Structure 1
């Protein structure tokens, strides 16, 4: 990524290679007290990142399957850049340990963007996590960027569903604190969860998710990243690669 400035200097974090290492790091990140980021009153340069795996998979995910990660750089609804990376999952999927499986590949895709984003949108949880540090938060900390997680459902947090009109919100609670919000991004569509991530408050996460979803249920940076990842998978399959 170009344009790494003083404000966006990255902390010296490595991706753990064992469950024990990851748990220790997640506990540290979950307890870290960082100054909260406030979105500026102008269109943001946002990177959505998404990872898809081989077709025909069974179960939640196993070690050794091929994955395609993509990052889409979007501003005011326009795609300004893309980064794609291919790799292999070294571990099976386990709730709360997604960073072991996806973290390094998503980082590689983001680093292939032409410019440094101001915000990360990640297909993962943040504070809604057993140790308060899901992959959306972890990836933001790794890159020194504010981050927001977006998922279809909460991981551990609980709360009532939002109202039907677009823009309806409902808090999701974990351990006595609001860690995320249900957000109705489009009337007549199922709501999404906006997760507080690295240096972001739950309320800001909800506002950003809604602002980045003017036409579709899924925010535009994540829509573009999902499309790019799936196109990369399909292209390799058409060339006879592992798919």
Structure 2
């Protein structure tokens, strides 16, 4: 089954390197999707563009946050895991909803967590970033574990629900798409 999105669709990607609240590196690219959208196969569609992006980014980040899953995936290997393995960089995925995993939301206190599991395997973690808002799903990727992934995400929160590096990169990609 495929979804919306064909091979060769236009695509935009952005990445930033941050030191605290300060952006110290930025790269924005436009390119083409390498494959059609197929659920569970995002690495084939966007992986090549992200590979070029991260290799042009300076300085090289210590850890990469991606809008992607890790082990909460039909093959237990989402884009956050694939990308980290190909680039030999620690990775953490951040999504708004789990893909397959299940688990109760954490309490409404910022920093509260609760596990997301597939069967008995802890594959991701709900993280409450702001009271009264939906928690984020934090995915351990390559060379990270669930606790480290949560630490990375909570350390990168500033004034928004989304980790600051992801928020700034998404904003840059949106501006590039709009031609600004």
Q: Identify whether the pair has TM-score above 0.5, normalized to the shorter chain.
A: yes
Q: 1:161 and 2:94 equivalent? A: no
Judge conservation of contact 1:82–1:112 (CA < 8 Å) in 2.
no
Shift of 1:113: 1.2
Matched residues in 2 for 1:74 and 1:189: separation?
Answer: 25
**Cα root mean square deviation, aligned:** 1.3
User: What is the aligned partner in structure 2 of residue 212 from structure 1?
Assistant: 156
**Could you give the per-residue CA deviations for residues 6-34 of structure 1, whole angstroms, max 9, x where no partner exists?**
xxxxxxxxxxxxxxxxxxxxxxxxxxxxx
2:166 is matched with which residue: 208, 222, 227?
Answer: 222
Aligned length: 178
* Aligned with 1:99 (options 43, 56, 73): 43
Report the counterpart of residue 67 of structure 1 in structure 2: 11
Matches within 5 A, 1:23-62: 60-62=4-6
Uncovered stretches (5+) of structure 2, i.e. residues with no partner: none
TM-score, normalised relative to structure 1 = 0.70
Question: What is the TM-score of this pair, normalised by structure 2?
Answer: 0.94
For the residue of structure 2 that corresponds to 1:109, the secondary structure is helix
3-state SS in 1 of match to 2:15? strand
Residue of 130, 138, 157 corresponding to 2:82: 138
Q: Structure 1 regions of 5+ residues with no counterpart?
A: 1-58, 239-243
Structure number, greater radius of gyration: 1
Q: Is the CA contact (8 Å cut-off) linking 2:34 and 2:48 kept in structure 1? A: no
Q: What is the CA–CA distance in structure 2 between the aligned matches of 1:213 and 1:149, rounded to whole Å? A: 14
The 4+ residue runs of structure 1 with deviation greater than 6 A are none
Q: Name 1:124's counterpart in structure 2.
A: 68
Q: Which moved more, 1:205-214 or 1:124-133?
A: 205-214
